[in-house]
Amino acid sequence: MDGVTTSGAHGSLGDGARLSFGRHIVIGLACALVAPFTALAWPLALLTGMVIGRDRVERQAGLRIGSVATIVRVLAVTGGVLGMMVLGAVLGGLVGFLIVALAASSERMAAGTSATDRTIARLLLVVTTTAGWLALLVGLRLTISVGS
């Protein structure tokens, strides 16, 4: 049974649904289109969105989440948002919230699948976004310069 166990409670996110590869690829491509406008904040935006999406899915499924897991998630989201603001030079960090929302929706779409399928969905999202971002950088000949 795949679930978060805290305080003696068990839960499951359901293993009946199939993973929709196409939807996750489309979300990854949408993230890739937004990524150049975030400077270097997009990787942290993806991770932050995954944490937020996973937390929401578990809470909607009625799973009990322990205080330690909650504290870790709050710290992860706080660190992700602060890192996005720094790496995105504030404006790029704000644009990065669109990627956070897309990654969270990807987590919600993969909620009813098995643990392996949820992992595949996360990897598909990261790989598609990275490949699209690199293709845009090369195709448009964009340069990222750090410093003066």
Segment 94-138, tens digit of pLDDT: 999 999 999 999 999 999 999 999 999 999 999 999 999 999 888
Answer whether residue 29 is part of any domain: yes
Q: Which residue has the higher pLDDT, 143 or 92?
A: 92
Q: What is the pLDDT of residue 128?
A: 97
pLDDT for 5: 42
Mean pLDDT computed over 10-23 = 74
- Residue 7 inside a domain? The answer is no
- Please give the pLDDT value at position 110: 95
According to the model, what pLDDT value does residue 6 have? 42
Q: How far apart are CA 93 and CA 42, in angstroms?
A: 8
d(CA 2, CA 23): 23
Q: How many domains does the chain have?
A: 1
Q: Does some domain include residue 11?
A: no
Is 4 domain-assigned? no
Q: What CA–CA distance (Å, rounded) separates 10 from 76?
A: 24
Position 7 scores a pLDDT of: 41
Identify which of 48, 46, 37 has the alpha carbon closest to the alpha carbon of residue 130. Answer: 46
Residue 5 lies in a domain: no
Q: What are 57-102's pLDDT values in tens digits? A: 999 999 999 999 999 999 999 999 999 999 999 999 999 999 999 9
Please check whether residue 125 lies inside any domain of the structure. yes
Between 41 and 146, residue with greater pLDDT: 41
Residue 54 inside a domain? The answer is: yes
Look at residue 146 and tell me if it is in a domain: no
Task: Of 7-11, 43-47, 70-74, give the lowest mean pLDDT range.
Answer: 7-11
Q: Is the pLDDT of residue 36 over 70?
A: yes
**What range defines the domain where residue 63 resides?**
21-138
